[in-house]
Chain A
């Protein structure tokens, strides 16, 4: 069964600090992996998309890494801001059609 597991479930960090969120998946075959940011009560917003041949992708202060061999990805946030407080969701596409698999998300809270 295709699964996407994220850790930690929640995280509290001080403003200005860095953090790393983890994603492990068992989706097969694999097409791409996406990280989304979801503010409370809003739809997810795409941060990065990576295929199996890409090891890293950056979007401003967000840097995603992918190890397709170990089926792990991470999202690193540098110099966190209060507006980074949100859920971060890892989403994996199996290369089929639209049956992407969502992770349960990591809820990040940035405090002053």
Chain B
């Protein structure tokens, strides 16, 4: 069964550094998302991406965050200058239709980002 893959599984970085989290969504999916989950807390929406542009973003997704689909397969989340509070598990997800329709979101297994 096709799956969403994320790399790396764990990333450690120093405060102020830039990080890029990578995702390969399911190949025929059109909608892509990033979520984060701070340890012990609920999953939070960051951003959705469709047709090569951001379709919606949360208040968490400020100017230090950006997303890109540099080619036909990868979907990346860049954090420009990491802060301690960016430490979290970041999940990529994809779907074939929008979330308001009855199609499941397929999640990757996440990248655990630790900012020191």
Binding site for B on A (CB under 8 A): 31-32, 34, 41-46, 49, 51, 89, 93-100, 102-105
Q: Work out how many contacts link A and B, with CB atoms closer than 8 A.
A: 67
A104 to B38, CA, bound (A): 11
Give the size range of B's interface with the partner: 20 to 34
Complex contacts, B99 vs chain A, CB 8 Å: 31, 93, 97-98, 100
Complex contacts, A43 vs chain B, CB 8 Å: 4, 91, 93, 107-110
Task: Pull 29 A–B residue pairs with CB atoms less than 8 Å apart, ordered by A.
Answer: A31-B99, A31-B101, A32-B102, A34-B105, A42-B109, A42-B110, A43-B4, A43-B91, A43-B93, A43-B107, A43-B108, A44-B105, A46-B104, A46-B106, A49-B103, A51-B102, A89-B43, A93-B99, A98-B48, A98-B56, A98-B98, A99-B45, A99-B58, A100-B45, A100-B105, A102-B42, A102-B43, A102-B45, A104-B41
